[in-house]
Chain A
């Protein structure tokens, strides 16, 4: 499975990384928290692709999910609420050699960081962004989230949430330059892994929303989907997910969906009472901002000196000319 640098002498001698090699601190999420499943899938991806620890960075915002980087043994950046995306963009722009992942919560991505989310889609930089969507603010103790269902009783909406939830998938699918959108649920780890893998392989901004249980504040919110697999709509395609036999026995409600069909993708994410799982949209031909903007000039002191001199010439006051002026008087 290893695909990393097989023709490089240094790495041939290197030991294979195991799952344990990617484990950082002991996770301190609540027992049964869906974040654990996402962590395991991501670690599996790192192991399968043998991502060098030092060449991989996880960037997060603030919230339960944003503890993610601490639980990885790679480089990590646990920054500010809502600002994971622009930080990750800065990293990727300066260091295209790094694998950059972004972990955000629903509040991070769709509330305080909304501007960055919309523009990250448009920049289409080579990043994998995972939104851990538990439809509630957990770390700050059960406030309403923009993705909370209408009527949900929370600490700040004791009489029920006033507004219908924001549909982050349809929003994402509506933004210019969208190139990869997938939806997953953390309680089907095989499909979650497969989606993350396809996101990683995609060139551009890969947006994955993962529906994630919060056992502490909303223990039964997703029960209808857990107990009735038919409420899960699995999207299959040769360029998307494929169910094995065992899985197809459980998840009978499937649709053959071509990830290039953005119109159908927009319809699917609007279906009431269903959670689609699979690759909604994928287009590898969208230009990436980090590639468009990369300068063809190789940074070197000699180059800088010559360019600077050329610039200074434009603003130069020539002493020879000044002496002529004086001589004329």
Chain B
């Protein structure tokens, strides 16, 4: 793959001096620094500017777990990875082509975790080389030599020295200088960059904005004078209006578009940024973001609001999800609509707070004691984050049950452009029904076939009843007798089957039959499909299927699975490996989705999964597929 891309590089034209501009189809760029040095802002801006110029982009944050890890720490890299292409980008891609690093130690962390291409270009802050502290000097030189020996193309750049010409504290300004470097290297529109800086710092003084713009221009100028390589990534052109944002912002906008009026939350990484943005805008929509005293209270608050009117929402991540579990059971039992967003992170316990995992699928399905059927859906793109909330609200109200929307840390901070949504009034919840309740209507008038019933809302005359989490009959009267409980549980379960009737069979990516089917869900969609595309180009008969609804699962999936010789679930959660001596077929624990597929369809689905806390790279999936395919053909021979 790497070789092919290098071969595809060609010098397209030369400007008067030595400015070689190489045209490439795509690039993966990383900007890494100590925490608080602004590499994230630099990367985000670079991504936004590229998207606005018409490139396909995907950006994802590189986040250490601590707010301020010690400086110059191998594990403390903070920054951004930006993948830019002349086509639609659906994932964070493979190893990086170019890295801007503010010190050699954080860079080392990225090198050691295998995130750089072998011949990666590195733009490295040079000040450490003549640092007054000799230890630091030595560290820098050692790393520099190692990088050179390993074949990286290292450019030492006097970032702070140059910034000092403009600002007194260069450490805080060099991110914009770095943005200037990138703008020049990748032929970005500097005027557009100026406008983005103005927008980003709109809450700051004009002095701050001006200084940042000067730094940008200085970086741009410096690269123009001193660097002998430049790239062009042709833009695909934008034909429809688009928006670019991260998944958490998309969720917040989805909430505002769904007509929900109450969002109750408690701070938790990586979910909270959705509430940050929502808190900024929601009052203008007539909504309230309530930061509750704890996760449990947040869920209870949302349930109370939902019960009294429009469906409400609570946003959380793994540990918070665990705490809310009892209340989710209440919402199931009392048939109160509720949307719960779980921005998954690594678990169990506090786990990997800032890193991606898809480990909460089974917990979402089976959480709450007793039989607690609920809808579980997963978002796979940024656009999906937006629309899923609107859909989830509708499902929750129609079927009177909680809907859990699973996203993850990868989508939360990943940015991607998508067509600008055109608002539709049908997205909103209907006004709160306050009409008198027709005579004879019971609070749980379950339809015997579907389990559905009309919800009565406080304020409706003649509808008074006491909702309870105890077993109850149609009248919401506490009922402990054997038949009443069986009836209640049955009707609540039937609603899932009724909802399943509304689901369309998901479409296979690739041929509808073949040797191998890769099955996935959630944020891995882009990486899986890119890997499938690559191996199909080489004639391998491999397809993929991505599931949005995990509970219930649409009909027709079994038939799809049966048309393939082998099915492998690819997901970011743990599964036992046969490489461990004591693991055998009868004690192997499968990845989350594989458990489900095996249980529901009696199909021998395999797992290929890991818990590295990183987005899956298309290259890694591709490699796995090629290996499996060669194993399969050997088995046949």
Contact = CB atoms under 8 A, between A and B. Distances in A.
B369 interface: no
Nearest to B242: A317
Given A54-B464, A322-B53, A312 B421 contact: yes
A79 to B, nearest CB: 6
Given A98-B458, A304-B257, A295 B293 contact: no
Contacts of A74: 464
Contacts of B244: 315, 317
B572 to A, nearest CB: 27
Interface string B226-270: 000000000101111111110001000100110101101000000
B156 interface: no
A94 B302 CA distance: 10
B304 interface: yes
A77 B304 contact: yes
A83 interface: yes
B308 interface: yes
A76 B456 CA distance: 12
A51 to B, nearest CB: 12
A303 B238 contact: no
Interface string A84-97: 01111111111101
A113 to B, nearest CB: 9
A262 interface: no
Most B CB atoms within 10 A — which of A52, A58, A297? A297
A80 B330 contact: yes
Contacts of A326: 54, 235, 237
Contact of A78 (B54, B296, B309, B469): B469
Contact of A54 (B301, B428, B462, B467): B462
A299 B467 CA distance: 28
A90 B262 contact: yes
A317 B243 contact: yes
Nearest to A317: B242
Interface size class of B (residues with CB under 8 A): 35 or more
Contacts of B417: 317
Given A303-B286, A315-B245, A316-B242, A77 B466 contact: yes
A307 B284 contact: yes
B242 A54 contact: no
B466 A24 contact: yes
Contact of A87 (B199, B249, B282, B301): B301
A119 B304 contact: no
Nearest to B283: A295
Nearest to B236: A322
A293 B239 CA distance: 42
* Interface secondary structure of A, over-half rule: helix
Contact of B285 (A57, A98, A304): A304
B281 interface: yes
Nearest to A68: B466
A116 B283 CA distance: 25
Contacts of B465: 75-76
A238 interface: no
Contacts of B460: 54
Given A80-B327, A86-B292, A325 B53 contact: yes
A80 B300 contact: yes
Interface in A274-313: 293-301, 303-305, 307-309, 311-312
B297 A304 contact: no
A223 to B, nearest CB: 33
A94 B242 contact: no
Contacts, number: 223
A237 B533 CA distance: 82
Given A322-B237, A325-B53, A326-B235, A90 B466 contact: no
A299 B300 contact: no
Contacts of A309: 423
Interface string B24-61: 00000000000000000000000000011110000000
Contacts of A57: 308, 458
A295 B281 contact: no
A69 interface: yes
A94 B428 contact: no
A69 to B, nearest CB: 5
B290 A297 contact: no
B627 interface: no
B397 to A, nearest CB: 14
Contacts of B292: 86, 119
Interface in B450-469: 458-469
A205 to B, nearest CB: 14
A73 interface: yes
B300 A94 contact: no
A70 interface: yes
Contact of A90 (B304, B459, B461): B304
B466 A86 contact: no
A86 B52 CA distance: 44
A299 B257 CA distance: 12
Given A295-B283, A297-B285, A119 B308 contact: no
A291 to B, nearest CB: 12
A305 B427 CA distance: 11
A318 interface: yes
Given A83-B300, A90-B305, A293-B290, A314 B199 contact: yes
A151 to B, nearest CB: 33
Interface centre among B310, B466, B477 (most CB of A within 10 A): B466
Nearest to A289: B290
B293 A119 contact: yes
A308 B278 CA distance: 12
A315 B53 contact: no
Residue with the greatest number of chain B CB neighbours at <10 A, chosen from A55, A58, A73, A326: A326
A101 B310 CA distance: 20
Interface string B303-321: 1111111101000000000
A237 to B, nearest CB: 33
A54 B463 contact: yes
B420 interface: yes
Nearest to B477: A25
Interface in B45-83: 51-54
Contacts of A89: 301, 304
B470 interface: yes
Leading 9 A-B pairs by shortest Cβ distance: A90-B304, A76-B466, A299-B286, A86-B300, A87-B304, A90-B305, A86-B297, A90-B301, A119-B293
Given A78-B467, A116-B293, 10 more contacts: A53-B464, A54-B458, A54-B461, A72-B466, A79-B330, A94-B305, A296-B283, A297-B283, A297-B286, A315-B244
5 contacts: A90-B290, A293-B290, A295-B283, A304-B285, A304-B423
